[in-house]
Amino acid sequence: MFGVKGSGDTSGYGRLVREVALPGSSPRPYGGYFDDVVDTLAEVLGEDAFTAAIESVVVFRDELTLEVRREHLRAVAQALRDDAALRFELCLGASGVHYPGDADRELHVVYPLMSITHNRRIRVEVAAPDADPHVPSLFSVYPTTDWHERETYDFFGVVFDGHPSLTRIEMPDDWVGHPQRKDYPLGGIPVEYHGAEIQPPDQRRSYN
């Protein structure tokens, strides 16, 4: 179930570990419209600004991902949205990812973008360290990210600077921790649901 073989443990409570290998930068040509998107963005931003903003260009499983340094995120998003040759006018959300082994880049946020005008899709990804989990909010560029950034804050602890109302969206306001991080305990925490306290999974009665 979790991609680890040989142990027989699919419960998620056995501290199963599988190494995640990030794909890294891709060589040119990227293929399809990907080269056009990257070249146009470099032209719009200027070569120096493009080099400063874009950490890497990754083509993996037929998807183009622009890995952007967080201090340049809003400028890149604005260019992708507004330039007529790019026109990625729709952001489909924001998703958090936690890579504990990616030193000083443990928290990632992925924004899938779509150009309705040109029928194209890309992804923009930004990283922040655990010690400073701040990322600029894209609410001012893509208002549709409002609840998605709140959810990513709630579950991963990413702080979106400039968000108009960055509060928890699913967990109670007084909840301690961020449940989708990989260092969050899977057992040992009772959950209150509709007034009833549900015992943590590793303390519930066994029926076998």
CATH top-level class of 34-174: alpha beta
Q: How far apart are CA 140 and CA 162, in angstroms?
A: 8
* Domain range list for the chain: 34-174
Average confidence score pLDDT of the chain? 88
What digits encode the pLDDT tens for the residues 86-109?
999 999 999 999 998 899 999 999
Distance, CA of 53 to chain centre? 18
CA-closest candidate to residue 58, choices 50, 67, 45:
67
Q: How far apart are CA 135 and CA 41, in angstroms?
A: 21
Q: How far apart are CA 150 and CA 140, in angstroms?
A: 14
What digits encode the pLDDT tens for the residues 128-173?
999 999 999 999 999 999 999 999 999 999 999 999 999 999 998 8
